[in-house]
């Protein structure tokens, strides 16, 4: 079996490291790659094709893990060349997923939950052909949601809205605690119910959000836009908080 990779960032590198089998060959291309990406490809000893067109045509499973902005164009360019499963792992909206479904046969909608570079990430999949990917459970956690393309994207969006809304409240509470010189006690009292690693996880979330408020706001706006008929009071409040950061 050949698994083709369009994009060779953390997602693809992690999959290459996790999926080890004599029956599986990874294939990519150095076409228009950066120097650092070529070095990563060489280091992992991934099979090479001269072009991405060739990668798409030869692959039994073609994985798109590039960027949300380029996901649709990548699907239009290479998805139509694929005769196997097209697995999209980009952080895209359900709307974009459905657009990709119009131009790609055998689309599987995928969402990686948790840190992608962890030893055992969880991959949620949905789509008519998603069941054919369950063999990957030998190498990582994989959860089949349904045969409906877009369900994985909706779950990904819902999880994102939950964590970001929670982070907005966390930032607000932490700011008040700091102004009252109670930041350590703030984490201590919440850790009683939330676990001993609450402080480390919370500070990591806060730093990440403060470093990327615009991107976090865009993701919440995407949520509000897609579920415009829902009463998203908390999500809108989180968006207002992020706009002040």
Q: Are 125 and 151 in contact (CB under 8 A)?
A: no
pTM of the model: 0.85
For position 121, what pLDDT does the model report? 86
Domain range 2-146, CATH class = alpha beta
Report residue 215 CA to chain centroid gap: 14
In the numeric block, which tokens belong to residue 183? 């930041």
For position 118, what pLDDT does the model report? 73
Per-residue confidence in pLDDT tens, the chain, 245 aa: 999 999 999 999 999 999 999 999 999 999 988 999 999 999 999 999 999 999 999 999 999 999 888 999 999 999 989 999 999 999 888 999 999 999 999 999 999 887 777 777 899 999 999 999 999 999 999 999 999 999 999 998 899 889 999 999 999 999 999 999 999 999 999 999 999 999 999 999 999 999 988 888 988 888 898 888 899 999 999 999 999 98
- Biggest distance spanned by C-alpha atoms of the chain: 62
Non-local CB neighbours of 25 within 8 Å, separated by 6+ positions: 1, 2, 3, 47
For position 115, what pLDDT does the model report? 74
For position 199, what pLDDT does the model report? 94
Q: How far apart are CA 157 and CA 138, in angstroms?
A: 27
CATH topology of domain 155-243: 1.10.1040
For position 222, what pLDDT does the model report? 84
Domain regions of the chain by residue span: 2-146, 155-243
For position 120, what pLDDT does the model report? 79
């Amino acid at each position: 079996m050949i698994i083709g990779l369009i994009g060779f960032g953390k997602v693809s590198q992690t999959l290459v490291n996790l999926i080890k089998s004599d029956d599986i060959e990874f294939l990519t291309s150095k076409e228009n790659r950066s120097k650092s990406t070529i070095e990563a490809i060489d280091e992992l000893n991934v099979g090479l094709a001269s072009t991405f067109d060739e990668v798409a045509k030869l692959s039994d499973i073609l994985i798109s893990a590039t960027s949300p902005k380029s996901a649709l164009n990548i699907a239009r360019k290479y998805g139509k060349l694929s005769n196997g499963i097209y697995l999209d792992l980009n952080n895209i909206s359900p709307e974009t997923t459905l657009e990709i479904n119009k131009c790609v046969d055998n689309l599987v909608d995928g969402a990686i939950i948790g840190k992608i570079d962890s030893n055992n990430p969880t991959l949620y999949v949905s789509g008519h052909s998603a069941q054919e990917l369950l063999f990957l459970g030998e190498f990582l956690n994989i959860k089949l949601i349904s045969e409906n393309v877009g369900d994985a994207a909706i779950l990904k969006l819902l999880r994102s809205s939950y964590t970001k809304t929670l982070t907005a409240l966390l930032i607000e509470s932490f700011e008040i605690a700091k102004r009252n010189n109670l930041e350590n006690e703030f984490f201590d009292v919440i850790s009683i119910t939330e676990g001993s690693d609450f402080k480390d996880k919370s500070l990591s979330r806060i730093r990440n959000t403060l470093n990327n408020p615009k991107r976090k706001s865009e993701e919440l706006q995407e949520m509000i836009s897609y579920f415009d008929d829902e009463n998203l009071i908390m999500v809108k409040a989180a968006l207002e908080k992020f706009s002040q950061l």
